[in-house]
Amino acid sequence: MLIAQTARALAFLSRFSVPSRFFTDTPEPLSASAAMFPVAGVLVALPAALMLLLTEMLGLPAYLSAILAVASLTIASGALHEDGLADVADGFFGGNDPVRRLEIMKDSSIGTYGALALGFSMLLRIGGIAALLETAGLFSAVFSLLAVAAASRAAMVWLWSALPSARAGGVADRGGTPSSASANSALAAGMAAVVLGILPGVGLFGLVCAVALAVLTIAGFRRLCENKIGGQTGDTLGAAQQLAEISLLVGLVIAL
């Protein structure tokens, strides 16, 4: 059961090929697999972790290793979360009312706000990983990267369960709403990953800084979603992942 849920979560969150047997004769909505989002997040981040190890063997500088790692993350996910972040930035700050904001978010074209959001996201994540490599070392950076991947997917599930759907028929709406048990399981898995991945290499202060900044960021983003569109959409879930990933990495760097 857990393997099937992880496979379905991975199929949604990545470009990885998942055997079709996990989707045959299953009436379950996507939300039924939400508890496994953190586990799928770790799997999505494995190519990036391997890239860091490979670039260390090749003796590449930290900034170039970080660029290649973030590129690997983006390729593995199919830029799913980056697309959501860009759409949210364009819609939230380009529209004057909830209806217009949702229309802009649905438009596939990218505007100035979206382009800026993507640029800042890439720069902050690259800078965070490079700083971890230089300050905490290779293995701390690798395990922190995997932990952040899990925790940021848990943030998606929390926002999904905490807010009503803002767009009928959208991706998140069609996927149902994760139960409280699923949301709690995802949060527990994300926290476990953070403790196991960050505490040994970065220490308790780094763990506290990263988690505190991420909690404040996602709580603030939840309020923004309520004010701008009255709920959540698939795009806001992707944006939540990006914001959580950035804030966790920045929190770690602050503590170093």
| pLDDT tens digits for range 113-172 | 999 999 999 999 999 999 999 999 999 999 999 999 999 999 999 999 999 988 877 777
Write down the pLDDT at residue 100: 94
**Residue 239 is encoded by which pair of tokens?**
């944006």
In the prediction, which pLDDT does 42 show? 96
Residue 182 in tokens: 């699923």
Q: Which two tokens stand for residue 15?
A: 């470009």
Q: Is residue 141 part of a domain?
A: yes
Range of the domain at 216: 41-255
SS3 state of residue 21: helix
- pLDDT for the residue numbered 41: 96
151, part of any domain: yes
Bridge partner residues of 36 (DSSP): none
Question: Is the torsion defined by CA of 166, 8, 141, 187 positive or negative?
Answer: positive
Number of domains in the chain: 1
Establish if 99 belongs to a structural domain.
yes
Give the ranges where the chain is alpha helix by DSSP (H).
Answer: 2-13, 37-58, 62-77, 80-94, 98-106, 112-135, 138-162, 171-174, 180-202, 204-229, 234-255
Kindly state whether residue 24 falls inside one of the protein's structural domains: no
Positive or negative: CA dihedral 183, 38, 136, 118: negative
Q: Enumerate residue ranges in the chain where pLDDT < 50.
A: none
Residue 7 in any domain: the answer is no
pLDDT value of position 2: 77
pLDDT at 113: 95
Residue 31, pLDDT score: 80
Does a structural domain hold residue 9?
no
In a domain, 78, yes or no: yes
Residue 22 lies in a domain: no
User: So what's the pLDDT on residue 245?
Assistant: 97
